[in-house]
């Protein structure tokens, strides 16, 4: 192409870009009068931090004008213009300046959103700034409107969330309806007009959380701010307004945001570029079960289950599709509706009451003076508007209308109560059917499992793989021969660690399953007891043991209570090793220190092995430590299942902040029960009493004698 032709081409291109009858040129940071943006066209802030354009909401084929992070691979929208009025066709819809206002026209050229200023100008311009603020300026470059004054669910560094004293207007963060729908949700965050604190409201009215007063450094109800936050907050109050702003402590490595999440929690997040994920720094309320009405009417929250919300027996999810998007606000509905207004006649049986134990009771009970459960039930049954009752400590509580904020608690939680919820009389027989079907189904499964295990065992014996000690074991574990494990571990060649009674080796089964094998270096006795213990392990809450081989023992079961049930009571014994340090006469136990960092906030990377130089993925370390704290809770009912643990570690499930594992301190303090060992190169690190010491020395004597006899 000749120079003259090139010059002509460039001129034509520039002309197309600036002709008022054409659309916006891609890559610009502004929209001027009579230009428009549609389809896949966007504008990008001058520094490349933010982008504005049409985006699609999930799979709904609805389109919105929004601003999102340009440098974040996981498209994250921080502001939405037309939250309540999406358009259906982004190619025939337009965002343009008309008479000094920025307006969005749908496919029928109907106005669905506008900046709605009184300013009229033919020279206005809309500019996307590098801080994520969309500003509308007049001909003299004065800002007459900005998106930061009308936030969606996200609070960006530098922007205000405050209160205008002149107009009595709040800048409010409003959650999305769910993860895929930017429609305004149920939760809002705003500055309390009566004081320097933030509050979360449910359904624009009910106050469900407040930050506490600002003392110049932190909010009184958020003491962890000084330890864990990446932000510096500043409070300003004048005659005309009061507001908070925040800035990043160190701007260079961070992309961060503060959101009012659809879960009902406010969250502080930062983008980890090395793993391409958002990392949760902090949230409040700390658990989703603390969020008001999170599971909706008749929904039950369980902090350690997945999903978090479920419906009671006799109820079903009101909006199943919403539940798949983690939007439980629609709650549950009765499977069989109550017959409104009818009394107990020959043509209608009396309503029944479903019994639901270990529950946190709903809000706003009405107290009635009766002295028995039967009397409480009778009062509720006689009033059709009564939907539930509970009787405890000579007090009768009844509820009318829908029930909110029920929570499933652990069996040993003193706050757990029994609630009786009104059901249609037919539900009683249906429940009996469900129980019967469940029992029959369970029996069939058991029969199939037993038949399968028998077939496998028979096939193994036919193949000549059975050994002299290859006897069936009760439970769900499978026995392996010594030769099997010798092959899997390459003759016990790769040692993973060493304990008081043996070493642990890495192995790989024929199906590529990676295993850890502990090879006992002690006497071969108590095999029957060991098999009983293995059987018990196969049934306890955390089913960690899948295989075992006799001459390989010591699973750390200090006490087994009975053989006929699925839970065992244990104290913690076993190898302590390098998890403990002696400093200035005090014992520093690593799990305790790690738990304190997780619960109270602190430098998560500071608990790593010093040899790592704090080089690790913060999100992964946090996940591991949090799930570890959940796994060692004293109450086994709130420990996660192994399936949940795998999902958490894979990043499929979020993990909430765990309760303080009090058992760790007991582990250190209770000298009547706990005995620790170190590896062979060290003496006993700690003993409890002279009697226990004598027992341990006796056991060591037996082991030494056994080695001499080998």
Lowest mean pLDDT among 131-145, 338-352, 359-373, 442-456: 442-456
Q: What is the pLDDT of residue 482?
A: 78
Lowest mean pLDDT among 557-566, 616-625, 664-673: 557-566
Q: What is the pLDDT of residue 474?
A: 42
Cα dist. 24→82, 101, 384 in Å?
A: 20, 17, 63
Q: What is the pLDDT of residue 156?
A: 93
- pLDDT (average), residues 193-216: 88
Q: For the segment 260-280, what is each residue's pLDDT rounded down to a tens digit? A: 999 899 998 888 887 788 888
Q: What is the pLDDT of residue 616?
A: 78
| Calpha distance 690→324 (Å, rounded) | 59
Lowest mean pLDDT among 109-118, 176-185, 340-349, 552-561: 552-561
Residue 72 has pLDDT above 60, yes or no: yes
Q: What is the pLDDT of residue 348?
A: 53
Residue 661 has pLDDT above 90, yes or no: no
The single residue listed with the structure tokens 């660690």 is 497
Q: Hey, which residues does 79 pair with through a beta bridge?
A: 67
Q: What is the pLDDT of residue 175?
A: 95
- pLDDT (average), residues 56-85: 93
Q: What is the pLDDT of residue 622?
A: 84
Residue 398 has pLDDT above 90, yes or no: yes
Q: What is the pLDDT of residue 438?
A: 42
Q: What is the pLDDT of residue 5?
A: 52
| Number of residues that make up the chain | 710
Task: Using alpha carbons only, give the angle 314, 316, 321 rounded to the nearest 5 degrees.
Answer: 175
With cut-offs at 50, 70 and 90, classify the pLDDT of residue 649: confident
Q: What is the DSSP string of 319-342?
A: -HHHHHTT--TT-EEESS---TT-
Q: What is the pLDDT of residue 456?
A: 53
| Calpha distance 287→708 (Å, rounded) | 57
- Name every residue whose Cβ is closer than 8 Å to that of residue 35 and which is 6 or more positions away in sequence: 20, 22, 23, 24, 96, 97
Q: Which residue has the higher pLDDT, 596 or 533?
A: 596
Q: Are 642 and 544 in contact (CB under 8 A)?
A: yes
Q: Are 30 and 17 in contact (CB under 8 A)?
A: no
With cut-offs at 50, 70 and 90, classify the pLDDT of residue 539: very low
Q: What is the pLDDT of residue 665?
A: 55
Q: Are 423 and 349 in contact (CB under 8 A)?
A: no
- pLDDT (average), residues 192-214: 88
Q: Which residue has the higher pLDDT, 198 or 340?
A: 198
**Of the candidates 286, 283, 304, 277, the residue with the CA atom closest to the CA atom of residue 618:** 277
- pLDDT (average), residues 533-545: 46
With cut-offs at 50, 70 and 90, classify the pLDDT of residue 643: low
Phi, psi of 33 (to 5 degrees): -55, 135
Q: Which residue has the higher pLDDT, 502 or 476?
A: 502
Q: What is the pLDDT of residue 227?
A: 58
Residue 247 has pLDDT above 90, yes or no: no
Q: For the segment 491-518, what is each residue's pLDDT rounded down to a tens digit? A: 888 877 665 456 778 888 887 778 888 7
Q: What is the DSSP string of 553-597?
A: ----B-----SSSS-----B-EE-GGGEEEETTEEEEHHHHHHHH
Q: Which residue has the higher pLDDT, 483 or 236?
A: 236
Mean pLDDT (the chain) is 74
Residue 561 has pLDDT above 50, yes or no: no
Q: What is the pLDDT of residue 142?
A: 87
Q: Are 147 and 79 in contact (CB under 8 A)?
A: yes
Q: For the segment 19-47, what is each residue's pLDDT rounded down to a tens digit? A: 433 445 445 899 998 789 999 999 999 99
With cut-offs at 50, 70 and 90, classify the pLDDT of residue 475: very low
Phi, psi of 624 (to 5 degrees): -60, -45
With cut-offs at 50, 70 and 90, classify the pLDDT of residue 223: confident
| Calpha distance 275→267 (Å, rounded) | 20
Residue 487 has pLDDT above 70, yes or no: yes
Structure tokens at 26: 């891609």
Q: Which residue has the higher pLDDT, 14 or 272?
A: 272
**Of the candidates 62, 102, 108, 116, the residue with the CA atom closest to the CA atom of residue 84:** 62
The neighbour count for residue 175, using CB atoms within 10 Å, is 24
Residue 84 has pLDDT above 90, yes or no: yes
Q: For the segment 419-463, what is each residue's pLDDT rounded down to a tens digit? A: 999 998 877 654 544 443 443 444 444 444 444 445 555 555 555
| Calpha distance 229→555 (Å, rounded) | 41
Q: What percent of the chain has pLDDT over 70?
A: 67
Q: What is the DSSP string of 256-298?
A: EEEEE-TTS-EEEEEEETTTTEEEEEEEESSSGGGSTTTT-TT
Residue 675 has pLDDT above 50, yes or no: no
With cut-offs at 50, 70 and 90, classify the pLDDT of residue 18: very low
Q: What is the pLDDT of residue 53?
A: 97
With cut-offs at 50, 70 and 90, classify the pLDDT of residue 376: very high
Residue 519 marked as a ligand binder: yes
3-state SS string for 35-81:
CEECCCCEEECCCCCEEEEEEECCCCCCEEEEEEECCCCCCCEEEEC
Residue 467 has pLDDT above 70, yes or no: no
Structure tokens at 531: 């098999």
The DSSP bridge pattern shows strands 299-301 and 406-408 to be parallel
């Amino acid at each position: 192409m000749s120079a003259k032709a090139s010059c002509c081409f460039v001129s034509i291109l520039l002309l197309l870009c600036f002709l008022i009858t054409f659309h916006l040129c891609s890559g610009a940071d502004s929209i001027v009068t009579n230009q428009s943006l549609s389809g896949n066209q966007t504008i990008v802030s001058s520094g490349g931090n933010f982008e504005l354009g049409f985006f699609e909401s999930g799979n709904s084929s609805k389109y919105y004008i929004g601003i999102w992070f340009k440098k974040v691979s996981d498209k994250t929208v921080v502001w939405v213009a037309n939250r309540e009025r999406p358009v259906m066709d982004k190619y025939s819809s337009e965002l343009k300046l008309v008479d000094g206002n920025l307006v969005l026209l749908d496919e029928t050229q109907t106005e669905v959103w506008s900046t709605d200023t009184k300013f009229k100008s033919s020279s206005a311009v809309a500019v996307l700034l590098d801080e994520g603020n969309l500003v509308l300026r007049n001909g003299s470059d004065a800002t007459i409107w900005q998106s930061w004054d009308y936030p969606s669910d996200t609070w960006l560094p530098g922007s205000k969330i405050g209160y205008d004293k002149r107009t009595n207007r709040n800048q409010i963060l409003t959650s999305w309806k769910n993860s895929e729908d930017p429609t305004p949700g149920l939760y809002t965050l705003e500055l309390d007009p009566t004081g320097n604190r933030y509050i979360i409201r449910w359904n624009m009215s009910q106050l469900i959380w407040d930050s506490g007063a600002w003392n110049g450094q932190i909010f009184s109800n958020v003491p962890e701010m000084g330890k864990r936050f990446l932000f510096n907050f500043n409070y300003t109050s004048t005659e005309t307004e009061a507001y908070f702003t925040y800035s990043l402590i160190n701007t260079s490595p961070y992309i961060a945001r503060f959101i009012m999440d659809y879960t009902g929690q406010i969250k502080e997040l930062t983008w980890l570029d090395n793993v391409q994920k958002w990392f949760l720094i902090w949230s409040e309320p700390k658990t989703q079960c603390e969020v008001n009405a999170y599971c909706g009417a008749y929904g039950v929250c369980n902090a350690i289950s997945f999903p978090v919300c479920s419906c009671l027996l006799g109820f079903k999810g009101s909006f199943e599709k919403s539940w798949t998007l983690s939007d439980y606000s629609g709650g549950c509905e009765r499977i069989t509706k109550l017959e409104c207004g009818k009394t107990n006649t020959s043509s209608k049986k009396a309503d029944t009451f479903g019994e639901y134990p270990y529950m946190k009771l709903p809000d706003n009970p009405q107290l009635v003076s009766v002295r028995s459960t039967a009397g409480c039930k009778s009062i509720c049954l006689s009033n059709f508007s009564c939907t539930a009752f509970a009787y405890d400590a000579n007090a009768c509580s009844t509820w009318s209308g829908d029930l909110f904020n029920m929570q499933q608690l652990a069996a040993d939680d003193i706050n757990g109560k029994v609630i009786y919820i009104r059901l249609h009389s037919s539900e009683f027989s249906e429940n009996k059917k469900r129980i019967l079907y469940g029992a029959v189904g369970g029996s069939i499964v058991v029969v199939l499992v037993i038949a399968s295990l028998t077939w496998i065992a028979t096939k193994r014996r036919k193949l000549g793989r059975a050994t002299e000690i290859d006897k069936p074991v009760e439970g769900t574990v499978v026995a392996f021969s010594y030769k099997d494990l010798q092959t899997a571990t390459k003759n016990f060649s790769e040692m993973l660690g060493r304990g008081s009674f043996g070493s642990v080796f890495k192995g790989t089964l024929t199906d590529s399953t990676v295993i850890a094998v502990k090879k006992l270096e002690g006497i071969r006795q108590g095999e029957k007891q060991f098999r009983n213990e293995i059987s018990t392990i196969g049934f306890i809450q955390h089913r960690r043991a899948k295989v075992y081989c006799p001459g390989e023992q010591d699973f750390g079961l200090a006490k087994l209570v009975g053989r006929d049930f699925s839970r065992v009571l244990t104290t913690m014994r076993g190898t302590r090793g390098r998890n403990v340090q002696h400093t200035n006469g005090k014992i520093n136990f690593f799990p305790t220190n790690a738990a304190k960092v997780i619960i109270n906030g602190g430098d998560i990377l500071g608990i790593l092995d010093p040899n790592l130089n704090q080089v690790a993925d913060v999100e992964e370390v946090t996940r591991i430590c949090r799930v570890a704290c959940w796994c060692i809770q004293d109450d086994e009912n709130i420990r996660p299942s192994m399936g949940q643990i795998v999902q958490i570690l894979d990043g499929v499930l979020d993990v909430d902040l765990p309760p303080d594992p009090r058992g760790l301190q007991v582990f250190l303090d209770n000298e009547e029960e706990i005995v620790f060992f170190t590896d062979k190169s060290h003496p006993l690190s700690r003993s409890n009493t002279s009697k226990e010491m004598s027992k341990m020395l006796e056991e060591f004597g037996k082991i030494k004698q056994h080695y001499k006899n080998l």
